[in-house]
Amino acid sequence: MEDIYKYKLAPDLVITYVNRKPQLRIPSQHRRFEVDSKVMSVVSAFTGNPEETLHRLEKTISKNTIQAIVNKLIDVGVLISANEQKQSQTSEIVMEWAEWGESTWFVHLESRDANYKSSDEVGEEFMESSESPPPTYKCNCEKSNITLPKPSTLSNMTISDALTLRRTYRNFLPESIKLQELSDLLYYTGGILFTNSTRFFGRVAKKVAPSPGGRHATELYPVINNCEGLERGIYHYCQKHHALHLLSKMDDVKSFLGEALYGQDYFLDASVTVFYTSVIDRIKWKYKGARIYRLMHYETAHYAQNFLLAGTAHNLGVFTTAAFKESLVESKLGIDGVHEVAMYVTGAGQKDEIGPYARAGIELSENVPADFKIALPKALSSTAEQKLLG
């Protein structure tokens, strides 16, 4: 058995317990193996001094059985040679990403290089399935319905101007936005353009924003602080009817947002803050692997960018942040954090042009054309810059 001592555990080996049974998981290979206590004992031997530990194991497990288990672990990649471990990109990822925690590299590797099937293969599977697709949107309009104005064309700004003038604003005036502006923000973010039938996937919605597989798992929950014609509170946006449903009135919106956004008080005067969620069953119905977690984030980002550009086109200040308390938000939205989860936050409001938004050492890129409109921050005074930069 001398040769086996040169082997090491795969750098990304993770042990999980499913239904109280141990599983060996190698996310870089998308493989998992249910094992028994004997295999676990052999695996544990390679966490320290395998020669010494395996010799002790021979008192309870036969030498031939140990050798057979080791050979199998080598075959499936749980054990690899020391040289292979040293040259492995996976080893490098695990080491370089260590400060972010094991869950980061685990999800990255498990969802990497997904095995996508052809359209024909997927179609055949869905033809054999009797499971109907889940609804493509949530609608509470039977309970209450606040119809929004028809969206406008946003013709007051070119797309290039919207792109170059977009900035993250942290200073807002405590003034309202128009209901038309809110209507446009929500429609260009998550409103439905049209629906159509498909051969395998039922009716699908088409929006301004793209969606993985056309599933559109994202829902929008605007928290209204200051908008004409609307009470302060938490709302749900109905994509089908382009309408709002009031979930809860809230006199002190800022208190909730201050806690939900980890004290980012520079966002609290925004007229509207939108929480994005993902309805898991909607996207899980089509996609089964770990890559679904990436797809949820891709889609939310598409929606959020549309919100920022629509807000910029209305000359509103806009922001986005990932720093928020998901569990608190989910509780306030009335979702369970299992079948529907909080994903992201954006907001918009009236810009405070004279607010303390200044930066040091501003240099315009040499690639910017002379006629481009750019929302540059104010330059710090020489005294303030020296104090900031030392």
Pair 173, 351: CB distance under 8 Å: yes
**166 or 144: which carries more pLDDT confidence?**
166
Nearest to 343 by CA among 326, 360, 368, 361: 326
**129 or 196: which carries more pLDDT confidence?**
196
Return the structure tokens found at 80: 């690899």
DSSP string, 35-89: --HHHHHHHHHTTS-HHHHHHHHTTTS-HHHHHHHHHHHHHTTSEEEHHHHHH-H
Question: Distance between alpha carbon 324 and the CA centroid of its chain, in Å?
Answer: 13
Q: Alpha carbon of 332 to those of 69, 190, 223, 230: distances in Å?
A: 51, 21, 11, 19
Return the structure tokens found at 150: 């028809």
Nearest to 287 by CA among 298, 300, 296: 296
- Per DSSP, helices labelled H in the chain are 37-45, 50-57, 63-75, 82-87, 89-96, 102-110, 119-128, 159-165, 179-190, 253-260, 280-284, 292-313, 326-333, 382-389
pLDDT above 90 as % of the chain: 75
User: What does residue 293 show for φ and ψ, rounded to 5 degrees?
Assistant: -65, -35
Residue type, 273: T
Q: What is the pLDDT of residues 8-40, one digit of tens each?
A: 999 999 999 999 999 999 999 999 999 999 999
Taken in order of first residue, the domains within the chain and their CATH numbers are 2-110 (3.90.930), 131-349 (3.40.109.10)
Q: What is the pLDDT of residues 93-120, one digit of tens each?
A: 999 999 999 999 999 999 999 887 777 7
Q: What is the pLDDT of residue 143?
A: 83
> What average pLDDT does the segment 170-186 reach?
96
At 354, the pLDDT band (50, 70, 90 cuts) reads: low
Pair 238, 191: CB distance under 8 Å: no
Return the structure tokens found at 230: 């609307």
pTM of the model: 0.91
Pair 222, 333: CB distance under 8 Å: no
Q: What is the pLDDT of residue 355?
A: 56
Pair 325, 337: CB distance under 8 Å: no
Largest pairwise CA distance in the chain: 81
